[in-house]
């Protein structure tokens, strides 16, 4: 089974490195590898990236250069996870989708951050999942699924347990993007998941240790995206 996992920066480094969750992520990946899963990983930038990008914006930095700063930080988070994974991972963050696929063919776990300005790590993860023909794309964030509204702002927001790829694209596919944006999924990634008819899971950090059993069909408290044609 081929699995692409996207760890949001809010998971690995919300404001500073979360060592315990990095260890938990590494344990889950090692279990998957021991059970003969092929795993590809993308990491976000998190609060650290937003701090650097915010400072650079005050200094008058352009949008493209802000994106480059975010990419650098996401790759730093990738390197941190590689440190926890040890020899099951490629020794350095891969920087292209093609390199990620080649690493899997060598039986290594590729870990990557951002790639190009204008692309979020959500989009990178969707591209990697498509290129590797992953059976499922898993997003981990500090929100335990997709809700009818932002649950951090709206106490009446309700979790959506199942959505189709079309419903996902309709809900998120028209959101305006900007450097350092914080949303459960960006519009380009949502559209790519819909076009590729890709199964996806949106899970909270509390499910991380259960990922191997969830991929085998166990219940979870997140949101499942079901691939369907319009």
Domain ranges of the chain: 2-226
CB 110 within 8 A of CB 90: yes
- The whole-number average pLDDT for the span 129-158 is 93
Buried b (16+ CB within 10 A) or exposed e, 104-133: beeebbbbbbbbebebbbbbbbbbbbbebe
pLDDT of 196 above 80: yes
| Percent over 90 (pLDDT), the chain | 80
- What CA–CA distance (Å, rounded) separates 211 from 190? 22
Which has more confidence, 20 or 179?
20
| Percent over 70 (pLDDT), the chain | 95
pLDDT of 25 above 90: yes
- What CA–CA distance (Å, rounded) separates 212 from 196? 24
Q: Which of 198, 134, 132, 127 is nearest to 165 (CA)?
A: 198
- The whole-number average pLDDT for the span 119-145 is 96
Give the pLDDT band of residue 175 (cuts 50, 70, 90): low
Cα 182 off chain centre by: 12
pTM of the model: 0.93
Is domain 2-226 classified as CATH 3.40.1160.10?
Answer: yes
Q: Which of 130, 68, 76 is nearest to 98 (CA)?
A: 130
pLDDT of 178 above 60: no
- The whole-number average pLDDT for the span 13-40 is 94
Give the pLDDT band of residue 177 (cuts 50, 70, 90): low
Q: Which of 59-68, 91-100, 212-221 has the lowest mean pLDDT?
A: 59-68
Which tokens belong to 85? 């994974």
pLDDT of 179 above 70: no
Cα 120 off chain centre by: 9
DSSP for 37-82, please give it.
-EEEEEE--HHHHHHHHHHHHHTT--HHHHHHHHHHHHHHHHHHHH
Average pLDDT value for the chain: 92
What is the reported pLDDT for 230?
A: 46
What pLDDT, in 10s, does the model give residues 150-168? 888 898 999 999 999 999 9
């Amino acid at each position: 089974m081929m699995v692409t996992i996207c760890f949001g920066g809010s998971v690995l480094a919300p404001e500073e490195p979360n060592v315990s969750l990095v260890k938990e992520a590494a344990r889950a990946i090692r279990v998957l590898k021991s059970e003969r899963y092929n795993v590809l990983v993308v990491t976000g930038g998190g609060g650290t990236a937003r701090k650097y990008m915010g400072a650079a914006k005050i200094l008058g930095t352009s949008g493209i250069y802000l994106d480059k700063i975010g990419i650098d930080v996401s790759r730093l988070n990738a390197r941190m996870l590689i440190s926890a994974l040890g020899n099951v991972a490629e020794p350095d963050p891969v920087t292209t989708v093609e390199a990620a696929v080649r690493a899997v063919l060598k039986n290594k776990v590729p870990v990557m951050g951002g790639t190009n300005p204008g692309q979020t790590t959500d989009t990178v993860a969707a591209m990697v999942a498509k290129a590797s023909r992953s059976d499922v794309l898993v997003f981990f964030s500090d929100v335990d699924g997709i809700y009818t509204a932002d649950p951090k702002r709206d106490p009446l927001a309700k979790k959506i347990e199942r959505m189709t790829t079309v419903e996902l694209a309709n809900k998120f596919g028209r959101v305006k993007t900007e450097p350092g944006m914080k949303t459960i999924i960006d519009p380009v990634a949502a559209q790519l998941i819909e076009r590729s008819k890709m199964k996806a899971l949106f899970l909270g950090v509390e499910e991380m240790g259960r990922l191997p059993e969830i991929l085998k069909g166990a219940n979870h408290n997140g949101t499942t995206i079901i691939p369907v044609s319009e």
